[in-house]
Structure 1
Amino acid sequence: MPETQHAKGQFQGTFAPISSHIYPVLFAIMAVVFILSNIGAAKGVQIGPLLTDGGFFLFPVAYIVGDIISEVYGFKASRRVIYTTFLIAAFASLTYWIIIILPPAEFYDGQEALIRTLGPVPLIVLASLVGFFVGQLSNAWIMVAMKRRSGERYLFGRIAASTVVGELLDTIAFSAIAATVIGIETFGQYVVFVLIGWVWKFTVEIVLAPVTMWTIRKIKVAEPHYGTVTGD
């Protein structure tokens, strides 16, 4: 598929329109995974000498979905998902806060557990929002910028390069805010937390890259109008 030229600083490439039935499904998956990972991240997890959080196994999925959206639908479509997911997560955090401050019924004996579980979530959400915003936008930007230069070739390279940068920025931003919330007290623990989080997320996405690439190819074939949208 020939590579198009760009104008006025906007990305150019071949993509599918967001009016398809597949785009909203990916949109919903991104939002759900991000919110669940925020709840899980409120728990500090230690596996042997390794420190991480309870959402460690979920968050890489958000980047895999982000890669699929960026590759198939372009930067504007990906940016729309990122902004909306950002707002949904903020609303979820507000909802948790309201649930906590509502006066408990006399028979309800779980208030303390509820506060302990959901109380840190707003701070975790703040950390996640900052990390998600910076990481996902850079991930999408790199993915689409490289596609503009290489066309449909080098998909694995686009996934790997965007993941290295996006996941690193995400992890640094998230950890800087969330570390103390989940019980990390020293700079050494913080560095370990960042490195483990980054290496884990990057490794998962690279290991699953063949599945991501297969999914992207299937979606491109399933999208009857893929390639009709040029420029981004």
Structure 2
Amino acid sequence: MKTEDTRAIFTAVFAGSIVLANVLAAKLTWIELPGLGGVAVPAGFVAFGVAYLASDLLVEYHGKEYAATVVNGTVVTLVIAYALVFLAIWMPSAPFYGGQEAFVSTLGGSASIILASVVALAAAQHLDVRLFANLKSRTGGRHRWIRNCGSTAISQGVDTVVFITLGFAIFPALGLGGDPTWGWALVSIVAGQYIVKLLVALIDTLPFYAVTEFVERPT
């Protein structure tokens, strides 16, 4: 596959998955973990996994500098997407339109969650890019599973801690929406969501190998 093709495809998949994941996060889904019970996670967790796969592939084939640029562009895209959503909410509804309340409840997130998602995205994705590149260098380009799993597992942890702490505790405490959550309740949310994301990171290794084999096969 041509270099320009992979660059365009991985960039589009990354940006699209991030924006879609934040839309899907409006729904909470219930995941049963054997021996641990159930945990509520945003329905966008699979889309976030796809985004991490795409960012790792960007670093693998196009370097950390380009991948970091894509992350910055996607953060800007997400902010613009939120702005357009709130513009659509603000627009007056047609007299016969009866879905405004559902539209607002689905897409109109609280200020604390929106700010937390943007900050977590920037912090975690830049960390993922740097970790992946560093692990690739340290292993001499071998053992792809190490850089794929290692970078994603660590950065997903940072994403979870930053997002939950800011969105459910710090920002609400500053008056940006809802009542703050502290203590064990906050820890349990972080732990439950991270376990699910960690499982996705491990499963992510299979498509990572499949895509790299496809990209590098002789044409």
- TM-score, normalised via structure 2 length: 0.84
C-alpha offsets along residues 30-54 of structure 1, whole Å, 9 cap, x if unaligned? 1111111101212333446412222
1:27 partner amino acid: T
Residue correspondence of structure 1 range 135-150 to structure 2 within 5 A: 135-150=124-139
The equivalent residue for 1:102 is 91
What is the alpha-carbon distance in structure 1 between the residues aligned to residue 134 and residue 87 of structure 2?
41
Residue correspondence of structure 1 range 116-155 to structure 2 within 5 A: 116-120=105-109, 123-155=112-144
1:216 partner amino acid: T
Instruction: Report sequence identity in percent.
Output: 25
Q: CA deviation at 1:186?
A: 5.2
What is the alpha-carbon distance in structure 2 between the residues aligned to residue 63 and residue 148 of structure 1?
19
1:53 to 19, 35, 42: 42
The verdict on how the C-alpha distance between 1:47 and 1:158 changes in structure 2, with shifts beyond 3 A counting, is: closer
The verdict on how the C-alpha distance between 1:184 and 1:61 changes in structure 2, with shifts beyond 3 A counting, is: farther
Q: What secondary structure, in the 3-state scheme, does the structure 1 residue paired with 2:78 have?
A: helix
2:164 to 166, 175, 185: 175
More helix by share: 2
Instruction: Identify which of structures 1 and 2 has the higher relative contact order when contacts are C-alpha pairs closer than 8 Å and 6+ apart.
Output: 1
Is the 1:60–1:201 contact (alpha carbons within 8 Å) kept by the matching residues of 2?
yes
Q: CA deviation at 1:124?
A: 3.4
CA RMSD of aligned residues (A): 2.5
Q: Which runs of 4+ in 1 moved over 4 A?
A: 180-186
| Structure 2 runs not aligned, ≥5 long | 33-37
- Give yes or no for the alignment of 1:30 onto 2:14: yes
Q: CA deviation at 1:102?
A: 0.7
| Structure 1 runs not aligned, ≥5 long | 1-15, 225-232
What is the alpha-carbon distance in structure 2 between the residues aligned to residue 126 and residue 42 of structure 1?
15
Q: CA deviation at 1:192?
A: 2.0
